[in-house]
Amino acid sequence: MEKNSIFKYSIKDLQEILINNNFNKFSAQQIFDWIYVKLETDFNNMTNLSKSLRDFLVQNFEAKPLSSLVIKESKDGTIKILFMLDDKRTIETVLMPQKYGQSVCVTTQVGCKMACKFCASGLIKTERNLETDEIVRQIFTMNCLLKEKYKDDLESPRARVSHIVVMGIGEPFDNFNNVMKFIDIINEPKGFQIGARHITLSTCGVVPKIIEFANMKTQINLAISLHASNNEIRNSMMPINKAFPIEKLIEAVKYYIQMTNRRITFEYILIDDVNDRREHALELAKLIRGINGYVNLIPYNEVEENPYKKSKKVDEFFKVLKKEGINAIVRKEFGADIDAACGQLRAKREGVIKNEI
């Protein structure tokens, strides 16, 4: 019989399973503590559980970390792992050390349907949603690695993942239910204890899902991949804009802020001669003026397979926004020496992978 991954259950789900099988529901907390705090993967070692419960868990569930195919560590401390899933598909996850803790960029899909022209993820042909447990296991496996790396200083904030950005491969709002369940699980105070305000989710602009997300009234940070100041440019870069043009997107953003009272992030990749002119900065300022948010200017990471080039006008663009009274920051680049940009490591491996495993 196939076993269920324990990583797909919230504490509430586990309580229900325990009750239905005549176990004490409070053991769900103990199981969460073993798995997510102690990082124990062998149910037999969970010594404060009854023998009958341990047997039940062994028979019905498994707690497997993801298998790591390639681990690359950058000079700046960024760690990138190419994981192999049980069906042999590969995904990548990046850990970025920050002043405030350890931040992990998670992947939510194998490949991506959104086909943004500038992004390497669209080059990956196989596509499917990741299951909840496959997203949770990215964090679990990173935590195992950090525990080993900081084994002499386990109290250090460096020894565990504290922040999550849902900005890896895939469109999280195209895999809404699994991503929300993932957030529910990592948010659990008895488990990884990653607070909603430490989680940032980025979307290319799936408007109905932004509304649905707003209605959930969470404290999770929302980032919008805007990347253009008008529909003409955005249409040329991002097919999603044809379904949900900028006006609809901005309306949804305003609704989100109204419902949650949270500040929004607008991501804006600066691409040479596409969206980086002074007039674009002015147009952007006009578009978002008055909205409780800020612009995250992202230096473009060039991808061999497309013609887009890095902008040379990042500072200039930044200054125009500032002068217009718009809050903006320039995003620090991580792990440029280890292909840390979206889909790059995986896209590069894709051709050779079959020969190597």
Active site residues: 92, 342
Q: Where are the beta strands (DSSP E) in 143-192?
A: 163-166
Using CA atoms of 236, 109, 123, 167 in order, give the dihedral in degrees to the nearest 10.
Answer: 60
Q: How far is the CB of 123 from ligand SAH (least distance, A)?
A: 11
Nearer to ligand SAH, 63 or 298 (CB): 298
DSSP for 1-13, written as a single string? -PPEEGGG--HHH
Residues in contact with 149: Cβ distance below 8 Å, sequence separation at least 6, in sequence order: 159
Written as six digits, the tokens of 177 are: 């239910």
The structure tokens listed for 135 are 């997203």
Q: Residue 5 CB, nearest distance to ligand SAH (Å)? A: 24
Judged by CB under 6 A, which of 94, 204, 222, 287 binds ligand SAH? 204
- Taking the complex as a whole, the smallest distance from the CB of residue 54 to ligand SAH amounts, in Å, to 40
Task: Say whether 40 sits in a helix, a strand or coil.
Answer: coil
Residue list 221-250, contact with ligand SAH (CB under 6 A): 225
Paired tokens of 109: 């899909």
How far is it, in rounded angstroms, from Cα 246 to Cα 231? 6
- The C-alpha atoms of residue 255 and residue 215 are separated, in whole angstroms, by 9
Instruction: Give just the sign of the alpha carbon dihedral 252, 255, 260, 262.
Output: positive
Of the candidate residues 118, 140, 182, 317, the single one contacting ligand SAH (CB under 6 A): 118
The binder of ligand SAH chosen from 103, 143, 203, 265 (CB under 6 A): 203
- Residue 259 C-beta: closest distance to ligand SAH, Å: 20
Q: Which is nearer to ligand SAH, 11 or 214 (CB)?
A: 214
Nearer to ligand SAH, 92 or 131 (CB): 92
Return the closest-CA partner of residue 306 out of 256, 236, 259, 249: 236
Bridge partners of 67?
84
From candidates 27, 93, 301, 311, binder to ligand SAH by CB under 6 A? 301
* Shortest distance in whole angstroms from residue 133 CB to ligand SAH: 20
What six digits make up the tokens of 105? Answer: 């960029």
Per the listing, tokens 């009958």 go with 52
Task: List the one residue from 92, 267, 276, 339 that touches ligand SAH (CB under 6 A).
Answer: 267
Of 3-11, 138-146, 297-305, 311-319, which segment contacts ligand SAH by CB under 6 A? 297-305
- Which residue numbers belong to the known binding site for S-adenosyl-L-methionine? 170-171, 202, 225-227, 301
- Which residue numbers belong to the known binding site? 112, 116, 119, 170-171, 202, 225-227, 301
Which residues of the shown chain bind ligand SAH in the complex (CB under 6 A)? 116, 118-120, 167, 171, 202-204, 225, 267, 269, 298, 300-301, 303, 341-342
